[in-house]
């Protein structure tokens, strides 16, 4: 499977996360995806997997089921299900493996994707066992265990097994080595090398350049959501202009040391892996006293063995020795790179090139031209795109945040927001007809837009509630003796349909109001405001501090839960979409999501209480406020405006 990414951009809440990315993944190539935290790697992987749609740009996947033939792979020893992932999308292993495990047993979990792809049950167990073995988990020991009770590293292996089981033609691994022990790490590297040899395309997002850069055919470097480099991995390793450093990354130790030795004239070429460096270092002779360090045989004679070296009887230990002997440039990438890629473009130099057509030499046998390009410009301080700042703890922090983010609503005093939440909730609960509800819908949507909440976020937040609201509406519209047309033993009730519709809309608006509140207020100010409001209750012995903590956690818990639900759903989708029936929220899928979600909620609750205890939380002791609340005239205006909205809503309710 080859993938062409062209001008892909994505924003979250109006903030650019990926900007104009263009590159290609040739079939069967191994691509290293690197960048600092938050540079957009996971987001890009989700887009490549087809689990997230970019706001603009194209991702074209060219499946190659036919090309896969009936190849036997270690995960599919039968050879009967070649590339079962092709045409359904690449397999993605998420950064957090616990988001990816659903079923009651490891074996069933690993086999889930096979079922989705129509592999008969009788073959599923053998394929799942082969995939488990491949990740170092013995099926005899693990197949019947609960995936939720595995250790972190075992969960990761099980998640990888689930992806391997379907013999994907393109496998996307998001930081796959996190949490693996040395044996697991070595096993993963072995598996990656085997998959590459089998012709499986791989994209690995990782911070471990030392291990993965030498294995990779090409590299994609992101900085602040922009493409800083896309091209042969070998060229990136040779790059002296500091692309990796520009991206905020540390070059692999073998490269840093190798470059230094080359500069000192002790190596003729930069080693291409840790093993090459070690091989070269093995030939080091202790330096003569006062010479400033060890030397390599033949040092200072780039190009090969020196007379001195020969006289010493030592072998030349330059990393490029084999290539040098065979007459090839020791640091030139292997020919295969040349056949797959056009000249690499260091994108800081590339200008707004976009995808460029490669010449015949850059064409793979069954795919389009492979070349890379970008619209990043040299003047772009690519790494310098400011992240949305964390909320400042100082009193000046909130207005400063608002000014920076350009959204005045973010800088309002949280007490004003609490009051607005209360007033608008009461107004919604009191609204019994369409006009006030529609009025509130307009106001809430407009406030959300003013606060910079994107439609995407709103959709993500409300989507899980939609089936419930629709069901609620449906149930309201039928009754045993409804006057309308009969639906089986039931009758349709127009009145029920209207009142159910009103209630569903009211509930949806309350949810949207909750989103508006939690998206515009972070935990600390929210808690300060809450504690301020209920402080007088302390005098009558109410544990005010506990209450505010509970409210803070609960309010932040709701978006967390929805985000988890979304993650789980994405992970389910990544394991293969059903061939028929609803793609989302089918009863089967919903049932599969409930258990892992509950387990994650319980785990988080447990971890939170441990964290609170371990930080010496004592409800009886007064707390030093994290920030001082400052009420400004703007807050008064906002409060009066909110009250006016609530009054209009109530007035419309009365009029209707
Ligand atoms: N659902 C979301 N809503 C809003 N912002 C998001 C969402 N998911 C990711 N982001 C933001 O998008 C940016 C890129 O996130 P992403 O997870 O892709 O980064 P990453 O390169 O994988 O980071 P890491 O190395 O830490 O895993 C980050 O700033 C992140 O905060």
Structure confidence by residue, pLDDT tens digits, 349-365: 333 333 233 333 333 33
Question: Poorest-confidence range of 391-405, 491-505, 585-599, 614-628?
Answer: 391-405
* pLDDT at residue 201 in the model: 92
Query: Torsions phi, psi of 599, nearest 5?
Result: -65, -40
Rounded to the nearest whole angstrom, what is the distance from the C-alpha of residue 174 to the centroid of ligand 1?
12
Final residue of a domain: which of 272, 298, 325? 325
pLDDT score at 32: 95
Distance, CA of 70 to CA of 115 (rounded, Å): 19
How many Å lie between the centroid of ligand 1 and the Cα of residue 477?
42
Same domain, yes or no, for 421 and 557?
A: yes
Ligand 1 surroundings by CB, under 6 angstroms: 12-13, 17, 35, 37-43, 95, 387
- Residue 252: which pLDDT band, with cuts at 50, 70 and 90? confident
Domain end among 300, 325, 350:
325
| Higher per-residue pLDDT: 392 or 252 | 252
Q: 527 or 377: which carries more pLDDT confidence?
A: 527
Question: Residue 296 and residue 10: Cα distance in Å, rounded?
Answer: 50
Q: Please indicate, yes or no, whether the overall pTM of this predicted structure exceeds 0.80.
A: no
Structure confidence at residue 423 as a pLDDT band (50, 70, 90)? very high
Question: What's the gap in Å between 40 CA and the centre of ligand 1?
Answer: 6
Q: Which residue's CA is minimally distant from atom 16 of ligand 1?
A: 40
pLDDT at 571: 77
- Domain annotation covers residue 93: no
465 assigned to some structural domain: yes
Those residues with Cβ within 8 angstroms of residue 198's Cβ, 6 or more apart along the chain or in another chain: 71, 73, 74
- The secondary element (H helix, E strand) that includes residue 510 is helix 494-520
Task: Please indicate, yes or no, whether residues 549 and 427 belong to a single structural domain of this protein.
Answer: yes
Q: How many other C-beta atoms lie within 10 A of the C-beta of residue 558? A: 14
Amino acid 612: pLDDT: 63
**% of the chain surpassing 70 pLDDT:** 68
Among 8, 14, 18, 41, which is best to mutate for testing ligand 1, by the most ligand atoms less than 8 A from CB?
Answer: 41
Euclidean distance between CA atoms 496 and 436, whole angstroms: 19
The verdict on residue 391 lying in a domain is no
Do 408 and 311 belong together in one domain? no
- Distance (Å, rounded) from C-alpha 624 to C-alpha 644? 35
pLDDT (0 to 100) of residue 444 = 93
Q: Report the nearest-CA residue for atom 6 of ligand 1.
A: 12
Both 636 and 502 in one domain: the answer is yes
Q: Structural domain tally of the chain? A: 2
Q: Among 10, 11, 12, which is best to mutate for testing ligand 1, by the most ligand atoms less than 8 A from CB?
A: 12
- Alpha-carbon span 617 to 268, nearest angstrom: 60
Domain assignment of residue 273, given as a range: 253-325
Q: What is the DSSP string of 374-403?
A: E---TT--GGGPPPPPPPPSSTTHHHHHHH
Compute the mean pLDDT over every residue in the chain, rounded to the nearest whole number: 73
Q: Is residue 572 included in any domain, yes or no?
A: yes
Does residue 403 share a domain with residue 297?
Answer: no
Q: What is the mean pLDDT of residues 39-67?
A: 83
Which of 36, 38, 96 most suits a substitution to test ligand 1, by most atoms within 8 Å of the C-beta?
A: 38
Does 573 lie in the same domain as 480?
yes
Q: Is residue 154 part of a domain?
A: no
Picking from 325, 344, 374, the residue at the C-terminal end of a domain is 325
312 and 419 co-located in one domain: no
Answer yes or no: do 453 and 568 share one domain: yes
Average pLDDT over residues 566-594: 68
Q: State which of 219-233, 252-266, 323-337 shows the largest mean pLDDT.
A: 219-233
Q: Is 61 helix (H, G, I), strand (E, B) or coil?
A: strand
Please determine, for residue 635, whether its predicted confidence score (pLDDT) is greater than 70: yes
Instruction: Tell whether the model's pLDDT for residue 46 goes beyond 70.
Output: yes
DSSP annotation of 410: G
Count of Cβ atoms closer than 10 Å to residue 625 Cβ = 14
Say whether both 483 and 588 belong to one domain: yes
> Which protein residue has the closest C-alpha to ligand 1 atom 13?
38
Higher pLDDT, 484 or 104: 104
ipTM: 0.96
CA of 11 to the centre of ligand 1 (A): 11
Could you give the C-alpha distances from 142 to 124, 164, 165, 388, in angstroms and in order?
Answer: 16, 16, 15, 43
Give the residue among 83, 255, 100 at the shortest CA–CA distance from 176: 100
**Residue 483 pLDDT class (50, 70, 90 cuts):** low
Q: Specify whether 420 is located in the same domain as 304.
A: no
Residue whose entry in the numeric block shows the structure tokens 């590459």: 196
Centre of ligand 1 to C-alpha 42, Å, is 7
Regarding whether 317 and 420 lie in a shared domain, the answer is no
In a domain, 222, yes or no: no
pLDDT at 582: 52
Q: How confident is the model at residue 489 (pLDDT cuts 50, 70, 90)?
A: low
Residue whose CA is at the smallest distance from ligand 1 atom 8: 43
Half-sphere exposure of 469 (CA within 13 A, CB side): 16
What would the pLDDT profile of 176-209 be if each residue is shown by its tens digit?
A: 888 788 888 888 888 888 888 888 899 999 988 9
Cα 567 to ligand 1 centroid, rounded to whole Å: 13
Same domain, 584 and 503: yes
Flag whether 297 is in a domain: yes
Q: Is the residue at 190 inside a domain?
A: no
For residue 314, what are the CA distances in angstroms to 80, 299, 303, 305?
53, 12, 16, 9
| 515 within 8 A of 542, measured Cβ to Cβ | no
Q: Return the CA Rg of the chain.
A: 30
Rounded-to-integer distance, Cα 327 and Cα 304, Å: 11
């Amino acid at each position: 499977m080859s993938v062409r990414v062209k001008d892909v951009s994505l924003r979250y809440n109006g903030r650019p996360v990926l900007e104009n990315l263009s590159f290609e993944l040739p079939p069967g190539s191994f691509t290293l995806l690197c960048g600092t935290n938050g540079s957009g790697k996971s987001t890009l992987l989700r887009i490549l997997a087809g689990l997230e749609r970019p706001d603009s740009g194209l991702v074209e996947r060219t499946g190659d089921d036919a090309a896969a033939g009936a190849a036997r792979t270690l995960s599919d020893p039968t050879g009967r299900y070649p590339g079962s992932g092709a045409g359904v999308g690449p397999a993605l292993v998420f950064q957090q493996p616990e988001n990816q495990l659903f079923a009651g047993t490891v074996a069933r979990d690993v086999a889930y994707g096979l079922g989705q792809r129509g592999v008969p049950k009788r073959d599923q167990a053998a394929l799942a066992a082969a995939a488990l073995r491949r990740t170092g988990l013995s099926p005899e020991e693990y197949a019947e265990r609960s995936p939720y009770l595995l250790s972190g590293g075992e969960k990761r292996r099980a998640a990888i097994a689930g992806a391997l089981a379907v013999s994907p033609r393109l496998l996307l691994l998001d930081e796959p080595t996190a949490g693996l022990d040395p044996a697991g790490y070595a096993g993963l590297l072995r598996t990656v090398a085997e998959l590459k040899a089998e012709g499986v395309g791989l994209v690995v997002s990782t911070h471990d350049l030392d291990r993965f850069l030498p294995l990779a055919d090409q590299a994609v470097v992101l900085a602040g959501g922009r493409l800083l480099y896309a091209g042969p991995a070998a060229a990136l390793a040779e790059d002296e202009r500091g692309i990796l450093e520009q991206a905020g990354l540390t070059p692999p130790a073998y490269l840093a040391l190798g470059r230094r030795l080359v500069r000192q004239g002790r190596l003729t070429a930069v080693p291409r892996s840790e093993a090459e460096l070690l091989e070269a270092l093995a030939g080091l002779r202790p330096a003569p006293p006062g010479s400033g360090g060890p030397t390599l045989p033949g040092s200072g004679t780039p190009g090969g063995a020196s007379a001195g070296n020969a006289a010493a009887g030592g072998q030349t230990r330059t990393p490029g020795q084999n290539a040098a002997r065979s007459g090839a440039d020791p640091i030139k990438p292997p020919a295969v790179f040349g056949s797959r890629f056009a000249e690499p473009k260091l994108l800081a130099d590339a200008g707004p090139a976009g995808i460029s057509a490669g010449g015949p030499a850059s064409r793979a046998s069954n795919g389009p031209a492979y070349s890379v390009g970008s619209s990043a410009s040299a003047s772009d301080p690519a790494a310098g795109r400011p992240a949305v700042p964390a909320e400042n703890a100082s009193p000046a922090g909130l207005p400063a945040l608002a000014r920076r983010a350009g959204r005045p609503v973010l800088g309002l005093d949280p007490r004003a927001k609490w009051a607005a939440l209360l007033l608008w909730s009461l107004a919604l609960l009191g609204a019994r007809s369409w006009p006030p509800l529609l009025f509130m819908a307009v106001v809430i949507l407009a406030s959300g837009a003013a606060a910079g909440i994107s439609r995407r976020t709103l959709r993500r937040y409300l989507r899980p509630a939609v089936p419930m609201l629709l069901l609620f509406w449906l149930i309201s519209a039928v009754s045993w003796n409804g006057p309308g047309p009969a639906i089986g033993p039931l009758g349709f009730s127009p009145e029920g349909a209207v009142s159910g519709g009103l209630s569903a809309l009211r509930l949806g608006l309350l949810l949207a109001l909750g989103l508006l509140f939690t998206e515009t207020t972070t935990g600390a100010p929210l808690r300060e405001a809450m504690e301020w409001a209920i402080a007088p209750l302390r005098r009558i012995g109410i544990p005010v501090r506990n209450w505010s903590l509970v409210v803070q956690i609960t309010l932040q818990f709701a978006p967390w839960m929805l985000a988890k639900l979304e993650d789980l759903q994405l992970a389910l989708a990544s394991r293969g979409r059903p061939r028929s029936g609803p793609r989302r929220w089918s009863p089967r899928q919903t049932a599969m999501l409930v258990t892992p979600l509950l387990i994650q909620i319980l785990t988080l609750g447990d971890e939170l209480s441990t964290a609170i205890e371990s930080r010496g939380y004592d409800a009886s002791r007064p707390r030093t406020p994290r920030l001082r609340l400052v009420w400004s005239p703007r807050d008064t205006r906002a409060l009066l405006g909110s009250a006016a909205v609530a009054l209009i809503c109530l007035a419309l309710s009365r009029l209707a």
